[in-house]
Structure formats: structure tokens, C-alpha cells
Amino acid sequence: MSNRDVVFTNVTVVQLLRQSCPDGSFLFLYRVVSHFLPFLLSLLPTVTRPPPPPPAPHVQPVKTLPEQPPPPPSKMTSTAPELLVGINGFGRIGRLVLRACIEKGVRVVAVNDPFIDPEYMVYMFKYDSTHGRYKGSVEHRNGQLVVDNHEINVYQCKDPKEIPWKSVGCPYVVESTGVYLSLEAASAHILAGAQRVVISAPSPDAPMLVMGVNEKEYNPSSMNIVSNASCTTNCLAPLAKVIHERFGIIEGLMTTVHSYTATQKTVDGPSKKDWRGGRGAHQNIIPASTGAASAVGKVIPELKGKLTGMAFRVPTADVSVVDLTCRLAQAAPYSAIKEAVKAAAKGPMAGILSYTEDQVVSTDFIGDPHSSIFDARAGIALNDNFVKLVSWYDNEYGYSNRVVDLLRYMFSRDK
């Protein structure tokens, strides 16, 4: 029965009950029906409304996280080739080359020195009277030198041919003993398994490369042994290159005022080849010979035979200074020379040549990584064609940085 039928039936019953009976029995019937009406209505089918649907559950809005960039590739899984270096000779330059390698991210895998054991290496590397204490961790562990938790194999071979460069995986070697300077002598490292050797001193016959000057002459197919020249040549050559290319150098004389080195005597002692060189280094200014100026002709062929020079060894532990006095082919005021050097220091020779107008002295350059720092206030000019130019250099630390830079350059060309 539909809702409409139920409503119609209820209305009909009420209407019938309200009709008056002719015999006056309406009241009786009304009472009877009123009494039984709830029962009668209960017999009708009940229509119920469907229950309302349950309320929808409350759903928290989903927060969208910002898109994260992909993680960088792991260095441990990188397949890029790595420059691996060995050092033969753990003296002043050898130890500072190791420091420079660490600072430049170059991995040193082995050090050879027949006179220094691993425990003593820790002490010598950690403490330095000139350049200060090494700021990282240094220890010896299982016969190895461990620097910043990086293990370096240590050998004490007297003959370079016996150093296991090949087995330790060391293709690039720094020869810093000051002994194996010729191609023949340095080739012992090649026989031991090295592929490239950089001699940290002038060589009588190895190709000479100076960063910022002629490093592009490196030929991977024919140069497996090269010389990084001397610290003084590394100071003079960049300056001479800038001046010669801009103004032309007719001729020149160089003097280097050079700090004493380990080859000198602390007190007077025998020195058959150089009598003056045997005098006490802390007590004297000692005139000495140097091939640094003439070596510039090897890296800048246009200046061959146009430069020569000498040295004064002085009682300072580190930092030296070059005085280049030269005649210019093109007349130029000193201000123009300063501008030319300044532009080169900011441009093509950045990191090699630096420029300063500060009132500086030698100790201000301890730890300076540049090859040559031009002192604009120290130079003078007699006229526009005859000038004296002054440039400083840390003969230990600056030079060691160039050794590492040359290794990196050769590695980039060898790939």
C-alpha cells in the first residue's frame, strides 16, 4: 500500500463516522470507533522513511610536499679518473707539496724518503717553524702516514727504481730530493712504474715548464719527465712575459734577495765549490750565483741571451724578492707599467701573478700561493725606457703550489 492509499483510507473513515445516523446512534458508534481506531490503524502497513545517510567522514586535506631535487651523485661511486701522486723526498718542498695537494684536493698515495720513518714523518709534517702547525689530524698507523684519516703509503727506498709506484697505483711522481735532476736520473721513477715525473728544481736537460708562461708546450706523447724550474724563475718569468709582450725587453739584469735554504750552513763550514756559501747563513748577506734569469730564455725564447742575474742570500727563513732592471723597447711611464701588470694579475695570470700597492715587507708574504707578487710602490724608473721592477715570492709555499698546478695541468692533458 502506498502513502497515498493510507492517507485516503484515514480520511474516509473519519468522514463516515461524522455522518449522522437516523436512529441517533452516532454517539455510540463514535465511541466504539474511537476506542478501536488505534488498533485498526495499527493493522495498516507502516510506511517508514529510509534513515538519513550517515555523515561523510571528515577527510584531512593532503599536504603536498615541495618537490625535492635529486640527490647529488656520490663521490664514492664516481667513475671519473683521479689524479694520484707520489712524492720522493720529504724535505721542505716535499712536505709543502703534500700540504698543497691536500688543499687542492689532489690525492697523495705514497711518500718515499730513505732517511725518515713514518713516526718521524708525522712530527715533521705536523710542526713547521715557518708555516705553522698543520691544522688537520696527523698520525702514523700500521706503518703508514695518516693525514686527515687518509692513509699514505710510506717507503724508505734508497734507489728510486725500487719504489713500488706501479703496484701502489701512482702514475704521477714529484721528484723533490734535489738529487735526481737529469732525465737519466729521474727516469728511474719511470722504470719503477711511474708514468710522469715533475722535478721540483731546474734540470740540465729536462723540458722546463712554468705555469702561466709556457705550460701549453707540454706534449703528452714526448714529455714524461719535466722540470718545474726554480722558485726564482717562477717569480721572474711571469713578470718578464707581461713586460716583454707589452713593451718589449731589450736587455735586463736580475737580482734576487733570497732567504737562506737547507743547503747553507748554520755556522761557518767547509764548502769547496762555493767558499762564500759555506759561511754562516744567519750571520751574513752572501752573494751567490743563480741560473734563474738565464733560465727565463728557456721558457720565453725571445728573451734568450737578454737576461742574466745573481743572488744575495740573506738571514731570513722564507720569502724572497726579485729586482728586475731592464731597458724597454717601447717607452712607457711607470704608471703604464703598473697598469699592465695589474691587468694581467686580474686577467690571464690570475692565481700566478699578483699586484699590491700596500706598504709590505717580506713576512707579509709567508704562505702566499702566488708565483710572483708585483710591488708597485717599490719599483722606480730612471726614464721611460729604463726601469727597476720589484716582485715578491714565497720561495717555499708559492713554488710548491705551482708544482701541484703543473701536475694537475699535465693530468688534464693526459686524459
Separation CA 284–CA 266 (nearest Å): 10
Helix (H, G, I), strand (E, B) or coil at 108: strand
Q: How far is CA 384 from the centre of its chain?
A: 41
Burial 107-117 (b: 16+ CB within 10 A, else e): ebbbbbbeebe
DSSP 256-273: EEEE--TTSBSS----SS
The one catalytic residue among 21, 101, 170, 231: 231
Q: For residue 48, give Cα distances in angstroms to 3, 38, 312.
A: 10, 18, 118
Q: Which of 294, 286, 293, 292 is nearest to 261 (CA)?
A: 286
Number of Cβ within 10 Å of residue 39's Cβ equals: 8
231 is catalytic: yes
246, 389 Cβ separation under 8 angstroms = no
Separation CA 239–CA 246 (nearest Å): 11
Joined together, the cell numbers standing for residue 122 give: 708525522
414, 205 Cβ separation under 8 angstroms = no
* Burial (CB count <10 Å: 0-12, 13-18, 19+), residue 250: middle
Catalytic residues, by residue number, are 231
